[in-house]
Amino acid sequence: MPQKKDNGLKLAEVPTSEGCILVPYELRRSRRARYIRLSIGRHNQALLSVPWRCPFAEAMQFLRSQGDWIEERLKDHPTRTSLFQFLQKHSRLHGLGQSFRLTLGFTRAKPFYVYSVPNSEIEMRIPSQGDREAATLSLVREFASEVISLRVDELAKQCGVEVGRTTVRDQSSRWGSCSSNRTISLNWRLVLLRPNLQDHVILHELAHLTEMNHSPAFWELLQSYDPRTQHHNSQLNPAAARLMPLGKGC
C-alpha cells in the first residue's frame, strides 16, 4: 500500500534484482500522453507521466516493473537536501544504543569529532572555509563507521550469532543487507535514526545470518530479537523518505 510523504509525494515498495527498495513517486496525468513514461524528478522521485484515463493499478504495476532502472538512476541524481543544514536543525546523532547531542562548529585546523558516552554528547568541527557539506558528510560517515560496527558486535553477542564482517556504506535506498559469507553491510545514515530504529535494522540483518530469507521463520526469529518488530518496521518507511536523500551528490 503506497504511503504518503511529508512533501506530498508517496512511497511505494519496488522490487529489484537484489530485493525491495522504497521509492518516492509522483503520478501526473496528461490528456496528450498515449503511454506511460517514467523519469526521475528534481526531488529524486520517480515521476510517472500517464494517459488521462490510465488505471492507477496499471501505473503502479509499471512502476514496480522498473526497479533496477530506478535504483541505477537514483544513484546518478544528486539531491538538493543538505546534510549540514539538516544537522543544524536536528542536532543529534545516534549510536551505541543512545542519542548524542551534537555541537557542530568550525575550525581552521584539521576537521575532527569527539564524543562522550557518559555525557551523551558529540562535537564536530569542520573547516571554516571550503565545502561545508562534504566536510560534514566525511565526519558523519567516519563516526558512523565506528559506532555502527561496535553496535553490531554488541547486539550479535546478545543474539548469540557470529558476524563475518561489518561494512558501513553509502547505499542509495537500503538500510542494510546481509550476504551469504556473513558480511553485514549497513547504511551510514543509521546514525540519523533514533536508537530503537537503528537497533531494529541491525537486528533484522543479524536475523538473516540464521534465516537468509523473509520466511515466517525469519520473522519469528526477528520478533524474538525485537519484540516491537512490527511497530519499528512500520516507522522505517517514513524515516527512509526523509533521510535517504541526505548526503547524496557530494
**Mean pLDDT across 207-225:** 96
Higher pLDDT, 3 or 126: 126
Quote the percentage of the chain above a pLDDT of 90: 66
Residue 28 pairs with which residues in a beta bridge?
A: 49
Q: Is 1's pLDDT higher than 80?
A: no
DSSP 17: T
First to last CA, the chain: 33
Q: Where are the domains of the chain?
A: 3-76, 83-243
Q: At what angle do helices 229-243 and 195-208 cross, to 10 degrees?
A: 110
Mean pLDDT computed over 202-209: 97
Domain 83-243 has CATH 3.90.1170.50: no
DSSP assignments along 58-125, one per residue:
HHHHHHHTTHHHHHHHHHHS--S--HHHHHHHS-EEEETTEEEEEEEEEESS--EEEEETTTTEEEEE
Q: What's the pLDDT score for residue 28?
A: 92
Choose between 149 and 7: higher pLDDT: 149
Rounded to the nearest integer, the mean pLDDT of the chain is 89
Per residue in 11-49, pLDDT (tens digit) is 788 898 888 887 888 899 998 888 999 988 766 788 999
The residue that leads in pLDDT, 72 or 145, is 145
Q: Is-contact 120 100, C-beta < 8 A?
A: yes
